[in-house]
Amino acid sequence: MDYNNIEIATFAGGCFWCMVEPFKKLEGVLDTRSGYTGGHVANPKYEEVKAQVTGHYEAVQIAFDPTVVSYERMLQVFWRQIDPMDDGGQFQDRGSSYRSAVFYAGEEQKAKALKSRQELETSGRFPRPVVTEILPLGEFYPAETYHQDYYIKSPIHYKEDRKVSGRDEFIKKYWSDIK
């Protein structure tokens, strides 16, 4: 991997615990961080974000080598983890901090994100409009240490939470035709 050629992708897809594992599995991913972005409070804490008082989204930030995995591939993985029709949160996690969004870093990422959303909208895969926003990346605040790689640190709780969330059933319903 070329550690001098690193790109960052930032996605909000509801609970950040569920967004890390799919990216971590990709060849070319160098690091993932759970955190907060898109709001108006500096250095927010989890309790504040969860209480919906900061304007921040729970998000995951991925450092990757674009010579190994493309930003377009990152977008594909993102879209296949969320319900892009839901603007009130994701699955069992409700409220503004759990909305889905692509946070772009630069015009090239913006163009690719808009194109991928348009392709998804016109694909006929979903019965309602795609409402996931494409937003400029502002400050990203890493979440508390216990949230980082939660699926590894607390696998039983992670699996239980994911099972009751409805995320996997949604993914199976809308994406089972793609491996």
Share of the chain above pLDDT 70, in %: 98
Superfamily of chain region 7-175 = Peptide methionine sulphoxide reductase MsrA (3.30.1060.10)
Statement: residue 2 has pLDDT above 80: no
| Stated pTM of the model | 0.95
Report how far residue 56's alpha carbon sits from residue 31's, in angstroms, rounded to the nearest whole number. 21
In this predicted model, what pLDDT tens digit does every residue of 78-124 receive, in sequence order?
999 999 999 999 999 999 999 999 999 999 999 999 999 999 999 99
Domain residue ranges in the chain: 7-175
Contact 48, 41 (CB under 8 A): yes
Statement: residue 150 has pLDDT above 60: yes
In this predicted model, what pLDDT tens digit does every residue of 42-61 receive, in sequence order?
999 999 999 999 999 999 99
Instruction: Determine which one of 15, 82, 130, 143 is catalytic.
Output: 15
Q: Does residue 18 carry a catalytic annotation?
A: no
Element (H, E) at 12: strand 7-13
- Answer with the residue of higher pLDDT: 55 or 157: 55
Q: Over the chain, what is the mean pLDDT? A: 94
pLDDT at position 1 is 53
pLDDT at position 71 is 98
Statement: residue 179 has pLDDT above 80: no
φ and ψ at 14, to 5 degrees? 85, -145
Report how far residue 98's alpha carbon sits from residue 12's, in angstroms, rounded to the nearest whole number. 7
